[in-house]
Structure 1
Amino acid sequence: MTGSAPGAGRPPARLTALLIDASTEAVRVSGGQVGGVYLRSGAAGLLRLAVLAGLPGPLFKPWWRLHVDRPFPVADAYRLGAEVVLANATEAMRRYPQFAAGLPFPFGSLYVPVVGGTTTFGVLTVLRPSAADATAVLAERERVADIAGRLGARLLRLAAPGAAGGDAAGDTGEAAGEAAAGDASEAAGEAAAGDAGAAVVTWDDEPVCVPPPVARRAQGRAGGFTWDPVGDTVTADAGLPALLGAPAGRISGSSAALADAVTPGDAPRTLAALRETAAGRPPPLPLYARSGDGTLRLLELWNDGAGGPSPEPRRVHGLVVEPGTGAAADAAADLLPEGVLCLDRLGLVRYANPRAGQLLRRAPAELLGRPLWEAVPWLGGPVGEDHLRAALLSPGPIRFHAGLPGEPGAHASALDGSGADGTWLDVAIHPGPSTLTCTFRPAHRVPEPAPEPDEEGADVPDAPSVAPLYRPIALAIALSEAVTARQVSAVVMRELLPAFGGRRLAIYLLQDRRLYLAWENGFPAGFLDPFEGVGLDAELPGVHTLTSGRPLFFDSMERLTAAYPGIALDATRGSRAFLPLIASGRPVGSCILGFDLPRRFSSQERAALTALAGLIAHALEKAQRYESEAALARGLQQALLPRRLSSHPRVETTGRYLPGTQGMEVGGDWYDVVESGDGLALVIGDVQGHGVQAAATMGQLRTAVRAFALGDRPPDEVLSGTNHLLIDLDPGLFASCCCLRLDPVSGAVRAARAGHLPPLLRRPDGRTEVLDLPGGVVLGVDPRARYPVTELRLDAGAVLALYTDGLVERPGVDIDVGVEWLRAALAEAAVASERPSLPALADRLTATARHTTDRPDDIALLLASRVGEGLDLPRFRAAPRPHSP
């Protein structure tokens, strides 16, 4: 059973129903709010999100498809066939920094492979509230694993020929539970239609988005209380504790406890209303508030008096009502002075009060039933969508300010602080199990964010403002281009320290259980010398952060010395952050950030730095692999290229090789001159790609060509034999090649080409032409390929030039232009009667490339010239350099 390609039709209903059932059940048993299933795509190496329960699909489009080799928990669970448990955001940042940088919100998650028999179909995933560690979610993990196991068994049956009928008949116990959803009849219908005979369960459509399962709440609940202001005592009836979900003793303690339980997060307003009512000035309308999960509450107050102000405080009676989600709740919210929107967890607007229409400049009818980002377009855009994602994935309310666009109905995003008409809204989104409540109220100016309290009470300055979402992404982009440890360190110095106001950086790498300094900047000369090569048993914060896997933050140097008495300090003031560099669970090293002044590291900054450390660790791990591979490749290539060329008294040859300067600086270009009977074989080739594999394949091909040429085989047989060898080796690469056999005495040449650029011939009279030889396809593609042979003559004093595309190819320019440039350069070499100098000509033709610091490809050049009997080969003097294409 295979999901259809986008736009080509719906996935089979039976498959969709199974995935929805598994996702929603996993959400329910794990206490989560979001669930989903990734399935294999029809495209190799790709996973696609098939079902998403509890989130709007368009807001999470970047996560719809995922390659199995990416460093993400879903990919690891699928590729390794093992469960991945991320108890909280800190664990996610440490183990999967790229994933955490994309979704930097406080949630935990579970990822369980869906396996049937020996086939891994996909991954069942659940996002749930954060936990202390993996042991705290052991029971939930086992329940989700059980669901994944049952889903794998069902998908295995579904994938088999005649699956739908077999599944319906052989799953009797489960069919009873599924009958309510119509699964059995649906499966039978599909079987009758012959829709379930495919051999593979895959998905290539957009994800199906469904709401999460929500336990039904009692509607229209109420509870009452009496407050005596003289003794500040509260007496609650039996209904109030049940409604508030709090012990009666907690509510009855005092007016402050009552206010906090009834209106969490807005207790001062409720306390003020209680006091006003006790003084004889009750509010004219019920108070409206929201519970911690976003549920609307009405609070009505009255006193014992006959009305009017009173010099003595009176007892206050109150009624707390949760009218539910029906008409009563809508009518109550209609009276609120602030705008209210209720969204389901798929982002659709389910309710809008009149005030919301006024503030958002939309009639309520235009809002209902539409996604928020479509109903109010100026609330969309990357920033607005990120706030909504945060509300969907975070346990607490999300607050921000939005500037209204200048013209009513305008669609310009104003979340960046560019309210065109100066009107601002204070927006709050309160998440709940099944709904999100959004409130809007006018805000005349955008206030500065309040500083977070210092957890330890130290008098340290606030950290500079940091864009926590931009920095990980910006750093990740910059690190993707760094290929050595030095380049990684330079990127960190350039991107990371300025963002956090740091001045000092030290990066240590782990080798043989000791830490060695790889990069430092800003520390006093010689200060770090005593720490070079310290073992993992040293009592140092840079060691402890790596061995424990936890970052260490010290807001002042006093706190650092208190934690590590006797440690050497490079300054009397300042603050330090010690970050573990761990990639794919393997320790790489540690990173030390130094700041000149004491400062408080906010929780947001600590989370961001932890994620950034993970990105740095992965980049350094990649750099270490790269440097090892580059050293191996360079040595391999030097060993494989010819140390000297075969010679003949009647023929002079010279070659040049220039490695590319981008990437590993090794590739698959080669040239060679081989004795072939009583003649010489001139060969040039280019293996696709770069790196160790390209260099190794080049060595194999060079050896094969030499072997065939030494047997005095004609050029077409040399290329055919090498072609078969490359196909048999199956390295996944192809190669171009040009092979010529030269008779030094007569000058006769027989030439064959396999997808390579045509040779150039400069005749003794200076005429230079491109030898447009007929040729066959590149080597390694077609075992039946034929390579036609062309016969020509190399006169005494003529020069033959063989080259690879790196010498003539330029970005954005047709390669024929480059070939013509090389032809002109060869033609402009003037002839003199003195001794020849082919090496000077080779240097001349490669001079432009040699002085180019950014060569994307390697370059090979082979020149050959024949000396006639009694004739000296002419010397080429330098002519004006032609313009490079």
Structure 2
Amino acid sequence: MSAEEGASTTAEVERALAELVRATGAHIGVVYLLKPEDQTVRMAFVTGVSQRIAMPWSQVALAATVPVAEAARGRPVWVANHAELARRFPRTALALPYHVAMSAVPLASGGTRWGALLQMWPATHAPDLSDQETWAIDDGASRISGLLLRAMQEGHPLRPTELRTVSPPLARHAEPGAELTERFPEGTCALDLDGRITFLTKHAVDLLGSSREGLLGARLWEALPWLNDPGYENSYLGALFSRLPASFTALRPPDRWLAFHLYPDATGISVRITPCEAPRDDVDPVLMPTEEPARPGNLFRLLHLSSTLTDAVGVEDVTEAVTNQIMPVINAQALALVTADEGRLHVLGWRGFRGDIAAGFDRLPVTADTPVVRTILSGEPLFSTDGDELRRTSPSVRMDPDKSSFAYLPMFASGRTIGCCVLGYDRRHTFSLDERAVLTSLAGVIAQALERARLYDSKNQVALGLQAALLPQELPKIPSLQVVVRYLPATDGLDIGGDFYDLIRLDDTSAGAVIGDVQGHNVNAAALMGQVRTAVHAYASAGASPDEVLARTNRLLIDSCSTLFTSCLYAHLDLRDNRARLATAGHLPPILLHPDGHTEILDVPTGILLGVEPQPEYRTVDVSLPPGSVLAFYTDGLVEVPGIDLGRSIDELAAQLGEGDPRSLESLSETLVRCAERTRQSFRGGDDIALLLIKSERE
């Protein structure tokens, strides 16, 4: 198939998209194509907005909970307005905070899924698609899917490698209309679909305080430093995406306020510029109605702060992020996060409400007639500008008397309402439509973050519990030996570590000590760790020498066909003669603290890791263990530091051991672990730490 024929197919898809948009009356149309190798859907064709403006939405993960991804997975989506978008797809609503209705349908043919077809209308659209619109969408999706199938069959499948823009309709008027606009007392300019100025009157030039040459072909917020705030561009984007009028005010330095009124259509946006008065100090800065002067940037700060929830791990982190970072931006003076579990409410956290009021939510049955319960059961937000009226309608509910307005926002996740976010305001607060939509979206994002956090906390508890169960609950008390162990897991979700240790009573005058580290951080590593510890314990208890213990354990791993390797250090402690016989399978060398205070890094013949070769050779070494000496076993989490030689780190550990007080193994172990933790935090390390200190006391 020639390049010309491939270009012809591309042109046919562009034409089909343009004709579909005209048939449905949509003002934006997008074809997303599936990219199977990285499980994403990518924007391939767009009409109604420029490439630059479309780019933030040009790629989404196939598994994401967004309309386009759901359609690409085979499920059509219709969203009638932004409020519904905020409830069902809160992340999309925050990323696309404009008053639109949208349809997303699958593109599929010949048993192959190609991607998704997205269209947008103003939010003034009817609650449902008409029969004619439905037919046109089905026909257009079928037509585009057929073109994609044909392209594949002919050997030139269309790939989402380059975003192509389908041209908007031609402008309806030419330059001769300019004299008409010049007669108006206000300034007038025209912006194209990329926000660039294509026309402006002399009055507009004068009001903006610039030159015609400096403005034509530029974007207002780029050409004028005092309009260089994301909030002003967002007003343009709001009008562009919703095809509804919008307005904002801005201060032209030093003291001149201007009002900008935006009127969009399919070819661009007309802007009327008029002088106005300074905004009142009592105007709420969050997403003011279009008739009020809005302060720019708050929406974008809110979007930025909501992204902090993505980094929050546990429930406590989510609660802290909401109360400390998001609450101030939305200008609320009080906030409570309330969930519903097992028929009762549970308060996860609050700020700004009186303690007794917030505590009154806790353990309240979901049968109670309260705004919180009504919001959870209905899944619909409740906004009360007049707190006194709310108290009259709910006389049995205790409400903070210091708050004048309230918002009860459903926290919707996993197809259900999991709780309610309660906002309180010290002064009377009027909730605009835009603000209601954003707050509802934000509550949905909080809900999804909480759902992830609760899952993380649950998995983390399972991981820590599994680790604890696989390690000895208590070490045996052995005469003439003082033993202290420290174990610090670096667990993240189910990333379970494989460090292990044990102390084994052999008879009245001997004991065994072992430490090791299984490769990896997962359930398989933890399970193998349990097997290795059990095997070492069994072989040592049967009287095997250190080299035999390692050899037999290695054979067990080879026979089990494990793909994980294990380091292990085993010592047979002769308490009668004050000696130790050691063997190692690739583990870090032990350190001996002598009674006179000097330390020695013991040279144990290194054997190969367990589970690598069927018949490796492990050799032993005998060392003196005089009374008062301390033998230190440890894993790499205690000494490994990125960018620092391991030998140097072991030397530093030996020096720290020598500087400690051997009379108290507890304080000595705490000192060593504390130093390692500080290093790990500095270098963002994440490995487990295991430390076993053994002090000989027999004279």
What TM-score, normalized by structure 1, do the two folds share? 0.64
User: Distance in 1 between the 2:52 and 2:605 partners?
Assistant: 55
Say whether residues 1:702 and 2:534 are aligned partners: no
1:211 matched to 2:167? The reply is: yes
The answer to whether the Cα contact below 8 Å between 1:775 and 1:787 also exists between their aligned partners in 2 is no
Judge conservation of contact 1:655–1:862 (CA < 8 Å) in 2.
yes
Residue 819 of structure 1: which of 644, 650, 663 is its match? 650
Q: Distance in 2 between matches of 1:379 and 1:597?
A: 30
- Give secondary structure in 1 for the equivalent of 2:623: coil
SS in structure 2 of the partner of residue 668 of structure 1:
coil
Q: CA deviation at 1:762?
A: 2.9
How much does 1:35 deviate? Answer: 1.5
Count of matched residue positions in the alignment of Structure 1 and Structure 2: 669
Q: Show the 5 A alignment for 1:280-679.
A: 324-330=172-178, 332-333=180-181, 340-352=188-200, 382-401=230-249, 419=253, 426-440=259-273, 443=275, 446-448=278-280, 468-470=298-300, 472-499=302-329, 502-521=332-351, 526=356, 533-561=363-391, 563-564=393-394, 569-571=399-401, 574-644=404-474, 655-660=485-490, 667-673=496-502
Once the two structures are superposed, what CA deviation does each residue of 1:273-296 show, in whole Å capped at 9, x if it has no partner? xxxxxxxxxxxxxxxxxxxxxxxx
Q: Distance in 1 between matches of 2:277 and 2:134?
A: 47
Which whole-Å CA distance do the structure 2 matches of 1:542 and 1:463 have between them? Answer: 32
Pick from 37, 45, 48 the counterpart of residue 39 of structure 2: 45
Q: Is the 8 A contact 1:684 1:804 kept in 2?
A: yes
Give the SS at the match of 1:594.
Answer: strand
- Residues 1:107 and 1:807: Cα distance change in structure 2 (over 3 Å): same
Deviations along 1:563-616, one digit per CA (max 9) or x if unpaired, are 446655553972322221212321111233333444433333323322222222
Partner-residue secondary structure (3-state), 1:469: helix
Taking the aligned partners of 2:526 and 2:468, their CA distance within structure 1 comes to: 10
- Provide the C-alpha distance between the structure 2 equivalents of 1:650 and 1:657, rounded to a whole number of angstroms: 23
In the alignment, residue 517 of structure 2 is paired with which amino acid?
A: G
Q: How far off its partner does 1:341 sit?
A: 3.8
Change (3 A) 1:720 1:351: farther
1:539 aligned counterpart, secondary structure: coil
Structure 1 position 668, deviation (Å): 0.7
1:682 alignment partner in structure 2: 514
Q: Cα distance 1:659–1:344, how it changes in 2: closer, same or farther (>3 A)?
A: same
In structure 2, the partner of 1:152 is: 145
How far apart in 1 are the matches of 2:580 and 2:685? Answer: 36
Instruction: Give SS of 1:438's match.
Output: strand
Letter of the aligned partner of 1:672 in structure 2? Answer: Y
**2-structure distance, mates of 1:376, 1:465:** 17
CA distance in 2 between counterparts of 1:40 and 1:794 reads 65
SS of 1:823's partner is: helix
User: Is the Cα contact below 8 Å between 1:679 and 1:741 reproduced in 2?
Assistant: no
What's the offset of the Cα at 1:654? Answer: 5.1
- Using the alignment, how far apart are the partners of 1:701 and 1:386 within structure 2? 55
Instruction: Say which is worse superposed, 760-769 or 66-75, in terms of deviation.
Output: 760-769
Separation in structure 2 between the aligned mates of residue 11 and residue 375 of structure 1, nearest angstrom: 42
CA distance in 2, matches of 1:859, 1:531: 40
**Residue deviations 1:110-133, cap 9 Å, x none?**
222323344433222112111577
Q: 1:740 is matched with which residue?
A: 569
Q: Does 1:796 align with 2:629?
A: no
Residue type matched to 1:615 in 2? V
The structure whose Rg is larger is 1
Equivalent residue letter for 2:472: P
Question: Cα offset for 1:701?
Answer: 1.3
1:127/1:465 Cα in 2 relative to 1: closer, same or farther (>3 Å)? same
- 1:684 Cα deviation after fit: 1.5
- Asked if 1:124 corresponds to 2:104, the answer is no
- CA deviation digits over 1:593-649, x for unaligned, max 9? 333444433333323322222222222222322332233223222111123568999
Unaligned runs of 5+ in 2: 285-291
Q: Tell me by how many angstroms 1:381 deviates.
A: 5.7
Check 1:635–1:61 CA distance in 2 against 1; reply closer, same or farther (3 A cut): same
C-alpha distance in 1, partners of 2:305/2:466?
A: 34
Distance 1:19 1:802 in 2: 68
How far apart in 2 are the matches of 1:668 and 1:842? 20
Distance verdict in 2 for CA 1:825–1:208, change over 3 Å: same
Distance in 2 (alpha carbons) for counterparts of 1:602 and 1:566: 29
Q: 1:48 Cα shift? A: 2.3
Q: Alpha-carbon deviation of 1:36?
A: 1.2
Amino acid at match of 2:268: T
Q: 2:690 aligns with which of 846, 857, 861?
A: 861
Instruction: Give the match for residue 416 of structure 1.
Output: none
- Asked if the contact 1:719/1:739 (under 8 Å) is kept, the reply is no
Alignment counterpart, residue 29 of structure 2, candidates 28, 35, 47? 35
The residue that corresponds to 2:288 in the other structure is none
1:752 aligns with 2:581: no
Matched with 1:305 is none
- 1:342–1:349 CA contact under 8 A, matched in 2: yes
Provide the residue aligned with 1:769 in structure 2. Answer: 601
- Tell me the percent identity: 29
**Does the aligned pair in 2 maintain the 1:23–1:124 contact within 8 Å?**
no
1:796, 1:865 within 8 Å by CA — same for their partners in 2?
Answer: no
Task: Note the C-alpha offset of 1:432.
Answer: 0.9
Structure 1 counterpart of 2:568, which letter? C
Q: How far apart in 2 are the matches of 1:342 and 1:723?
A: 75
Aligned residue type for 2:600: T
Deviations 1:403-459 (A, max 9, x none): 66xxxxxxxxxxxxxx4x667665443211122223456x4875559969xxxxxxx
**Distance in 1 between residues matched to 2:209 and 2:334, nearest whole Å:** 51
Using a 3 Å threshold, how does the CA distance of structure 1 residues 560 and 339 change in structure 2: closer, same or farther? closer
| Cα pair 1:796 1:873 within 8 Å, conserved | no
CA distance in 2, matches of 1:372, 1:850: 52
CA distance in structure 2 between the aligned counterparts of 1:644 and 1:561, rounded to whole angstroms: 57
Taking a change above 3 Å as real, the CA distance of residues 748 and 14 of structure 1, as seen in their structure-2 partners, is farther
* SS of the residue 1:32 aligns to: coil
Q: Which amino acid aligns with 1:106?
A: H
Contact between 2:669 and 2:693, CA under 8 Å: does it hold in 1?
Answer: no
Equivalent residue number for residue 99 of structure 1: 92
Q: Is contact 1:657-1:860 (8 Å) kept? A: yes
Tell me if the contact between 2:604 and 2:621 (Cα under 8 Å) persists in the aligned partners. Answer: no
> Structure 1: how far apart are the matches of 2:127 and 2:212?
45
Q: Deviations over 1:833-868 (max 9, x none)?
A: xxx97666544422445799979635433447697x
| Contact persistence 1:659–1:666 (CA under 8 A) | no
> 1:10 & 1:656 partners in 2: Cα distance?
71
Q: Which runs of 5+ in 1 are unaligned?
A: 2-8, 165-194, 218-323, 405-418, 453-461, 729-734, 875-885
Task: Measure, in 2, the Cα distance between the counterparts of 1:388 and 1:814.
Answer: 56
Change (3 A) 1:701 1:53: same
Pair 1:845-2:678 in alignment: no
Q: Does 1:806 align with 2:637?
A: yes
